Amino acid sequence: MKLGWQNWFQEKRFAAHWDRAKEAAQSTPMADYYSAPVQADQLLNDAPLIALDFESDGLEEDAQLLEAGWVAVEGGAVKLNSARRLRIRAESRLQGSAVIIHRITDDAAAEGQSEQDVLLALLADLKGAAILAHAAFIEQSFLNAACLRCFGVPFVGRFICTMQLEERWFPRERTADGLRLGKLRAQYGLPYYRAHDGLTDAMACAELFLVQCARRRTENLLLEDVLMRG
């Protein structure tokens, strides 16, 4: 395989990060999450995936998380019985513009659970699973920041980024916003979603991923073939 050395290098780096985080997680609530590593060389169809989306009041690492939505993808199917959408209680006043985009008001956010409780519920589902997101580096950085905040432990996991996958598998000239989730879905004839609640976005991303895998027309894809790179 052409990218063999790259995969190998990435695996080495991932293993090092994982081991370090696992070490740090000992006797913290995250220890359980680190007890189940996800093998990159398993068949994609066999690999448990969780499509995840956070709603937040900003994109910086210290942004306030408002909501987490996630749903499992197994064997090429989005399993709605696993769908979760949890509101996170706001610690500080929301920033105005984010409120409008996400349709989450101070009042609604106040009804949520603590960030720690939401993270624990999420981590339980993420255990042993790879994480699927559109622009996954954002979810990655949010998760890492939140875990450090709540448990003092970094978050290390396997990520699949549907935005990166689109560029990698189906490169073409695009407009500036051509890789946005809504645009890509429309391009593939997927239904229009009102969007911008965590669960709807997670589902939207999961469905896009099903389309990408079907269009790739490759039998027996491995998890490592779709993992986020770089």
Give the footprint of another protein on this chain (CB under 8 A). 76-81, 83-85, 188-191, 193-194, 197, 199-200, 203, 206-207, 210-211, 214-215
Nearer to another protein, 4 or 191 (CB): 191
Largest CA distance in the chain: 53
CB of 195 to another protein, least distance (A): 9
Q: ∠220-7-19 over CA atoms, to 5°?
A: 110
Which residue's CB is nearer to another protein, number 2 or number 194?
Answer: 194
Q: What DSSP designation does 62 have?
A: T
Q: Identify which of residues 83 and 99 has a Cβ nearer to another protein in the complex.
A: 83
User: Minimum Å distance from CB 87 to another protein?
Assistant: 9
Least distance to another protein from the beta carbon of 79, Å? 6
Q: Which of 80, 59, 58 is nearest to 69 (CA)?
A: 80
Quick one: tokens of 53?
Answer: 């989306």
Distance separating alpha carbons of residues 12 and 89, to the nearest angstrom: 38
- Residue 65 pairs in a beta bridge with 56
Backbone angles phi, psi at 88, to 5 degrees: -110, 130
Q: How far is CA 95 from the centre of its chain?
A: 23
Least distance (Å) between residue 86 CB and another protein: 8
Q: Which is nearer to another protein, 85 or 180 (CB)?
A: 85
Which residue lies nearer to another protein by CB, 85 or 89? 85
Note the helical H segments in 46-135. Answer: 96-102, 106-110, 115-126
CB 227 within 8 A of CB 130: yes
CB 153 within 8 A of CB 20: no
Q: How far is the CB of 217 from another protein (least distance, A)?
A: 8
Nearer to another protein, 26 or 114 (CB): 114
Specify the residue, 87 or 158, whose C-beta has the smaller distance to another protein: 87
In whole angstroms, the minimum distance from the beta carbon of 196 to another protein comes to 11
C-alpha–C-alpha distance, residues 207 and 73, integer Å: 9
Inter-residue contact 159 to 229 (CB < 8 Å): no
State the minimum distance, in angstroms, from the CB of residue 201 to another protein.
10
38 — phi, psi (to 5°)?
-105, 120
